[in-house]
Amino acid sequence: MKRNSTLVLLLVSLVLTSLAIDHLYACTRVVYKGLDRTIFTARSMDWKGEIPANLWVFPRGMTREGEAGSSSVKWKSKYGSVITSSWDIASSDGMNEKGLVGNLLWLAESGFPDYEKDSDQPVLALSLWLQYVLDNFATVAEAVEFLEKETFVVASANIPGTDRFATVHLSISDASGDNAIFEYIDGKLEIHHDESYVTMTNSPVFEEQLAINTYWKGIPGTIMLPGTNRAADRFVRASYYIDAIPKTDNTRVALSSVFGVIRNCSVPLGISSEDEPNISSTRWRTVSDQKNLVYYFDNVLNPNVVWVEFDKLDFSEKGDVKMLPLAKNENYSGESSMSFKEAKPFAFAGLE
């Protein structure tokens, strides 16, 4: 009887969690670990409206600042990267030349620290959070060791042109398969660092996502998997399928399998609900090959997947900033490094 009562409580908790996340935007991120150091990180970007994206090549040696006035963190990039921008005001996804991948996903429960303009506390605008990590670190362990010291705080503001306050969490993975999740909850940085943290969605906070997944592991996925578009259900499906697909060092098979998983967790274009804004159409997907250093971009409004091979790019300090325009659904196919054009770097959204 006690066991049945516990099961009922678990189910009630899961239902309440699913209801709570009905007011969120949706994304999914998952990491595949194959044979012989074959590592892929995939993510979907789901948003209720258009979220224009372009691909950018950033070389080493770029001088940056945290877009927070005189309190801004300042640095010079150690590593080059390929990133996907959102509205050309933030880096929302990308991989650097060492195979470190970063992904920003929405998290309504985020609570970023308060900050005082022009104070002694160094500050980094949220729009640069992912780019700071790609610029400065080669591995997850390096990033965790530095960021847990909290030499600066990350602060947020409204998305420019809207009344929506930006709330996200950051996942990173590296070429060894290590993983970490960074979340600001009630103004405090929480770091979840473990090789096993291969899956992340939106709400709830990551610790609760793990608890929900633990429950579903007791139900064989070959018998039943949750099928809705809600974040908790996508987390369970991604966790199950990324473990079920073949573990291989065949790049073509692994890539196809990983794309299959992230597409399984996507929402068809045109599906949305005023009552359930978390059910937002998938706008684009990326897959990062961290062994071979290839970055794939899949725009749902374009039938072709495009990719860029890092060995065809110049990441040196003498290299140019380049951009591959995708925001207007430009048509490319296959390896597209030659289609990147020299461009002025976009301006990251600031806090002022």
Lowest mean pLDDT among 34-43, 141-150, 328-337, 340-349: 328-337
**Residue 227's pLDDT band (cuts 50, 70, 90):** low
Chain segment 91-138, per-residue pLDDT in tens? 999 999 999 999 999 887 889 998 877 788 899 999 999 999 999 999
Mean pLDDT of 40-59: 90
Question: Of 26, 27, 133, 210, which is the active-site residue?
Answer: 27
CA distances from 272 to 24, 289, 299 (A): 12, 31, 18
CATH 3.30.200.20 is right for the domain spanning 18-342: no
Give the whole-number percent of the chain exceeding pLDDT 90.
62
The angle that helices 231-244 and 2-20 make with each other, rounded to 10 degrees, is 110
Mean pLDDT of 16-44: 77
Dihedrals φ, ψ of 26, to 5°?
A: -120, 135
Residue 18: what pLDDT?
Answer: 43
Give the whole-number percent of the chain exceeding pLDDT 70.
83
CA distances from 292 to 30, 41, 329 (A): 18, 12, 27
Residue 14: what pLDDT?
Answer: 42
Model confidence pTM above 0.75: yes
The alpha carbon torsion through 159, 48, 105, 300 (nearest 10 deg) reads: -120
Whole-angstrom distance, CA of residue 302 vs CA of residue 123: 38
The alpha carbon torsion through 25, 19, 269, 170 (nearest 10 deg) reads: 30
Question: Strand 334-335 and strand 305-309: pairing?
Answer: parallel
Chain segment 264-281, per-residue pLDDT in tens? 888 777 766 555 545 578
Q: State yes or no: pLDDT of 349 exceeds 50.
A: yes
Q: State yes or no: pLDDT of 16 exceeds 60.
A: no
Task: Identify whether 265 is a catalytic site residue.
Answer: no
331: how many CB neighbours lie within 10 A of its CB? 10
Residue 145: what pLDDT?
Answer: 98
Residue 276: what pLDDT?
Answer: 52
- Residue 52 corresponds to which amino acid? P
